[in-house]
Chain A
């Protein structure tokens, strides 16, 4: 395998339509770009907006070819939802890190009894990824005063696993959130960082 390939960092961000996965991956991509790196990012639009599975691949390094992360090569798996973390585990490289929001988003197909939500999802996750970082970001966001801060808390956590300067993170987060919520988001970002 080429050495170039090894220098590429792969972050897979997953969740459910409407959770803010796309915005989070936009922010991460921009942070990498402001650091002077090549970046590619890919996601699926369309039906995913309607409560479906959403995944966004972010890759950065000196030179990036494929916008998709090859299976088994994600350095970090960031999941906005518990069961979604399990679905995408196959992308994580051995020894890769998982940051998981333990919040559950139960699809109607479960409510109507046609499927069941994975039992003991947290345990399964821990059994497969030894040092998975699990946090109920919704609870934390509500503590901070706004459920919409889930996104920023999770990004704060992820930032600890990537070697991108703190100042670039804060600059991009500040630019991408509504002005009125800038301070609150920076607080949420710090909160996230303190968790890892």
Chain B
């Protein structure tokens, strides 16, 4: 049986076929679909954890109990999970454990471009890098096997282009596995200093054995071609290089840490020019140079952004591995008018939009977090001043407020922190605890849209539903916030502009921390009701442009209103696209002329 699967779908399939029974993750692009797909397989327990550290620890538990485990996250998620990860590298496993970790070169939807291959070297654990969906599926099995054989967690490192590309995958039968029991081995799993000191030398010994494996494994294979150019590569770079210079010799690394020293030496000795083609950091290049082998890489290939066939071609050309193109212009010319900016926007009817519109009137400093609402940094709202990482909004706001207080500057603007419900539960809770405990005066807004919006709407402990679709206990945000010691908690409907503005005003004047919780669900969760669609009465619209200041994609400038004075400003009447409008009524509330109303009314 063959199926067209994305890299992420293939990882899920590979886990299922390899007998993985427990999986945990926090959603994060480009890794999200791994768990969403794994959750559908029979006999697999898959869950959303509130954050990556928790997910990782759940996987450790499953492994200790003798059950194969997979934990998934995006690259920055491993920063959150780094604490258990580094020590799990010491304890090792009982049943196989694989961390599927997806990097995002090019930052399609991430706040940084870190190269997580270094985490493998940091913790001294084996690293596998698939270059397409078939390999993604197969390597899950190998990573688990290596994990068990060498008593180590394994990393399966994906990148956006592998995670989100589809390729043909041959399906296999799920492996019958007989899960072992809980392994009680205190010197292995209880990392008090005395026992950790026993484990560290074992980690060093293990990396030696893994080096041998790297030299032996068929995942690291030489494809002989012309001897003039030898290319060492891993992951998606292999596909680009193979596309552009198929005649070269290749050393393709599927297990890219530890590097296969003997294979590299053999390969290097038989080619005239040795190049490393790798995305992001010179991870392989520097290790090969450290072997005393002359190799070039980042001299020709960028250290930034995602690769593409043309970037690789350009690099090979610079390295004189490829001859210059025969034709100077080999593609259709892109016209100059082609660069229409189309930045991502909050959806029509998004409850965040109206909240930020109201918040802007308070003229505060707004420390933001990561989620759909981070898009409010863009025009026309331009509402937020920072975005660092998941959970950082509340603690940075606290820092800002304390600094202002200490410095006794003339800064009078109120300090806000905005954070989504999923992110608040991910790592905002401890930050809010800090504010309460340390007598801060931050105005925290929890934009509760009942889902993890940015990644496409995943459940979390506040939604009352599990990943596998079961109803469950639901966190009561108001009670949770109160239990942290916050006395002022207000719940508002962000579609109600006047009340929202009033509540913000009241909370700003309070001399203590407070939390405002918005309560409108994400529009993507709601069923579309065409009877709510609004329209603009062209007779009444004066083209003041007030409604356009919301930046709603459904409101577009329409018919031109001729200026009364000569040379006066040209105004245009507003129009509402009925296929986009969700009937949130916010533009209706803003229109002073009363020109906007429900289309059916």
Contacts and interface: CB of A to CB of B under 8 A. Distances in A.
Contacts of A96: 332
Interface in B312-341: 313, 330-335, 337-341
A180 interface: no
Given A51-B345, A109-B342, A111-B555, A124 B167 contact: no
A88 B455 CA distance: 26
B104 to A, nearest CB: 9
Nearest to B106: A44
B549 interface: yes
B4 A41 contact: yes
Contacts of B372: 50
A117 B557 CA distance: 12
Interface stretch (B148-156, B212-220, B235-243): B235-243
Of listed B30, B310, B372, residue having the most chain A CB within 10 A: B310
A190 interface: no
B309 A66 contact: yes
A33 B341 contact: no
A178 interface: no
Contact of B343 (A29, A52, A147): A52
A171 interface: no
Contacts, number: 187
A118 B161 CA distance: 30
A46 B29 contact: yes
A5 B245 CA distance: 10
Of listed B239, B337, B455, B552, residue having the most chain A CB within 10 A: B337
SS of A interface (majority): mixed
A128 B333 contact: yes
Given A40-B167, A90-B332, A70 B310 contact: yes
A86 interface: yes
Interface in B447-499: 454-456
SS of B interface (majority): loop
B193 interface: no
Nearest to B334: A90
Interface residues of A, number: 64
Contacts of A64: 167
A112 B337 contact: no
A58 B29 CA distance: 21
B338 A38 contact: no
B543 to A, nearest CB: 12
Interface in A1-15: 2, 4-5
A110 B551 CA distance: 10
B103 interface: no
Contact of A93 (B332, B334, B344, B379): B332
B380 interface: yes
B15 to A, nearest CB: 20
Contacts of B244: 70
A21 to B, nearest CB: 13
A167 interface: no
B29 to A, nearest CB: 4
B337 A119 contact: yes
Contacts of B555: 108, 111
B160 to A, nearest CB: 7
B246 interface: yes
Contacts of A147: 579
Interface string B341-353: 1111111000000
B132 interface: yes
B386 interface: no
Contacts of A119: 337
Interface string B226-255: 000000000010011011101100000000
B86 to A, nearest CB: 29
A68 B161 contact: yes
Contact of B335 (A89, A106, A112): A89
Interface string A95-124: 010000000001111111011011111001
Given A50-B375, A68-B309, A71-B310, A92 B331 contact: yes
A88 B244 CA distance: 21
Contacts of B302: none
B331 A71 contact: yes
A39 interface: yes
A107 B164 contact: no
Nearest to A52: B344
A77 B456 CA distance: 28
Contacts of A42: 161, 164-166
Interface string A35-72: 00011111111111111110000000000111111111
A165 interface: no
B548 interface: yes
Interface in A123-138: 124, 127-129
B521 interface: no
Nearest to B345: A51
Contacts of A72: 330-332
Contact of A117 (B164, B335, B340, B552): B340
Contacts of A110: 340
B43 to A, nearest CB: 27
Contacts of B375: 50
A64 to B, nearest CB: 8
B164 A43 contact: yes
A94 interface: yes
Interface string A12-26: 000011000000001
B556 interface: yes
Contact of B338 (A47, A118, A120): A118
Nearest to B28: A46
B531 interface: no
Interface in A166-187: none
A49 B524 CA distance: 11
Contacts of A52: 342-345
8 contacts: A40-B167, A45-B108, A66-B309, A68-B161, A83-B340, A86-B340, A87-B340, A127-B335
Q: Which 10 A-B pairs have the closest CB atoms?
A: A72-B331, A46-B109, A67-B165, A86-B338, A70-B309, A42-B165, A118-B337, A66-B243, A50-B344, A90-B334
Interface of A: 2, 4-5, 16-17, 26, 29-30, 33, 38-53, 64-73, 83, 86-87, 89-94, 96, 106-112, 114-115, 117-121, 124, 127-129, 147
Given A109-B379, A112-B380, A124-B335, 9 more contacts: A42-B166, A49-B456, A52-B344, A68-B161, A71-B331, A91-B332, A110-B340, A117-B340, A128-B333
